[in-house]
Amino acid sequence: MRRNRAMEFYRFFAAVMILCYHCYWFAFREDGTRFIGFYVFVELFFILGGFLMLASIRRGVTPEMRSDPAGTTVRYMRGRLARLYPHHLLSWLLVAVLAVLRGMWPIELLENGWPEIFLVNVFGFVRGTYVNIVCWYLSAMIFSSLIVYYLLLRDEDGFIKIAAPVLIVVCYGTMFDRKGSLANTIIFMQYSPHLGFLRALAATTVGCVAYRAYEWLRDVELPGERFWATAVEAAVLTASVCWMYRCSGRMDFLFVPLFFVFVISVFRGKSLLTRLLDNRLSGWLGRQSYAYFLNNLLVIYPYMHLFHGTNLPAMCWFCAPVCLAVSVVTGWMVKPVERLLTGGRT
């Protein structure tokens, strides 16, 4: 399965929406409700991660590798961390500098920041100030992927048909009961540290199920798919943006099945939107999305300091392109380290 450049564009689009949410959360949550629900696009990241993870297993894991699920999982996670951790560490260090400039003592930085450095922050080790709080996503993704990847190698059919439905219902059910929303899982971890991890585990599992559904449909010709797939993809994007622009709460769980359908449709590649977005620019933007997510606070904190009395839309219009520029630079900075750790495979 070749890299889907339309999905890369949507991944970048989701990263921009999450930046808008972080602008609201860190600077304007007392003043208004715009962008209040854009956190839901994190679910799209997790679902896409699960989808691609099972795709990589189907493409590159041999029967011999399946016979050693623990060793294969360790090698997979080692390679994944080699690609992701340099971006995380550089972003964390740069945000830490900003935190010190904003008044955080170095000893406080270490006391509160070590779980983020070692990516165990998703388990709620710190009950106070965070440094680069957005890296909770990476922590949750790593540990959920570790479990799901291993279970897929042990018994893929059993996981998809039996364990996956149970995990999805239990994880999302627990979040619905304890929190009533997918919002601000990392903040709520001060009271229920497991919720951020459950959110990642559930959505990653949804992504794995989505890949199996995609495989089942791959050779099926559906009449009129070019038009109705275009309508479905446009409807999901429009619904997610319009609803989450001013709303949040229990309805956000509805977007999990909507993103499930959306990812399958985009990877089938039949819609007019997917064909339009299958270009080099989309692929390039998608490659920036991971660093873009981690670098949110690198542009939000300086903006809050330099531009008092501004409004939320102005902040988003400024921070979105600046964050892209910063991410291109940080990506260039970590590229040599990434190549060294991956043996030239990036």
Domain boundaries, the chain: 30-276
**What confidence tier does 45 reach under pLDDT thresholds 50, 70, 90?**
very high
> Whole-number mean pLDDT of the chain?
90
pLDDT over 90 (residue 271)? yes
pTM score of the predicted model:
0.93
pLDDT on residue 202: 95
* The two structure tokens encoding residue 161: 């048909």
- Percent of residues, the chain, with pLDDT higher than 90: 65
User: If you average pLDDT over residues 141-146, what whole number do you get?
Assistant: 94
Q: What is the pLDDT of residues 154-213, one digit of tens each?
A: 999 999 999 999 999 999 998 888 788 888 665 555 556 578 889 999 999 999 999 999
Tell me the per-residue pLDDT of 278-327, one tens digit each, with 9 for 90 and over: 999 999 999 999 999 999 999 999 999 888 878 899 999 999 999 999 99
Residue with the larger pLDDT of the pair 248 and 240: 240
d(C-alpha 242, C-alpha 230), whole Å:
18
Longest CA–CA span in the chain (Å) reads 63
